[in-house]
Structure 1
Amino acid sequence: MANHNDFGILAEDLAVEHLKENGYSILVRNFRFQKAEIDIIAEKDNLIIVVEVKARSTDAFMLPQEAVTKTKIRSIVSAANHYLEEFNRNNEVRFDIISVLPNKNKNLIIDHIKDAFQAFDAN
Structure 2
Amino acid sequence: MRKASHLCKGDLAETLACSHLQQTGLQLVEKNYRCKGGEIDLIMRDGASLVFVEVRFRKSSSFGSAAESVTASKQRKLITAASHYLQRQRNSWPCRFDVVGITGERDPNIEWIKDAFQSA
Query: What SS is found at the alignment partner of 1:49?
Result: strand
Cα RMSD between the aligned structures? 1.5
Looking at structure 2, the residues matched to 3 and 102 of structure 1 have their Cα atoms a distance apart, in angstroms, of: 15
SS in 1 for 2:92: coil
- 1:116 aligned residue: 116
How far off its partner does 1:16 sit?
Answer: 0.7
Pick from 31, 37, 40: which aligns with 1:38?
40
**How far, CA to CA, are the matches of 2:46 and 2:37 in structure 1?**
27
TM-score, scaled relative to structure 1 = 0.89
Give the deviation of 1:80 after TM superposition: 0.6
Percent identity reads: 36
Aligned pairs for 1:75-94 within 5 A:
75-94=77-96
Number of residue-to-residue matches in the alignment = 118
Secondary structure of the corresponding residue to residue 88 of structure 1? coil
Question: For residue 17 of structure 1, what is the aligned residue in structure 2?
Answer: 19
Corresponding residue SS for 1:98: strand
Q: Of 61, 67, 74, which residue of structure 1 is paired with 2:69? A: 67
Deviations 1:69-112 (A, max 9, x none): 11111111111111111022311111000000128xx3012111
Whether the 8 Å CA contact 2:54–2:100 is kept in 1: the answer is: yes
Query: How far apart are the structure 2 equivalents of 1:70 and 1:110?
Result: 22
Q: Unaligned regions of 5+ residues in structure 1, if any?
A: none
Mapped partners of 1:83, 1:8: distance in 2 = 22
| Inter-partner Cα distance in structure 2 for 1:45 and 1:10 | 26
What residue identity is the alignment partner of 2:47?
D
Summarize the Cα distance change of 1:78–1:35 in structure 2 as closer, same or farther, 3 Å threshold.
closer
Query: TM-score by structure 2 length?
Result: 0.91
1:95 aligns with 2:88: no
Instruction: List runs of 5+ in structure 2 lacking aligned partners.
Output: none
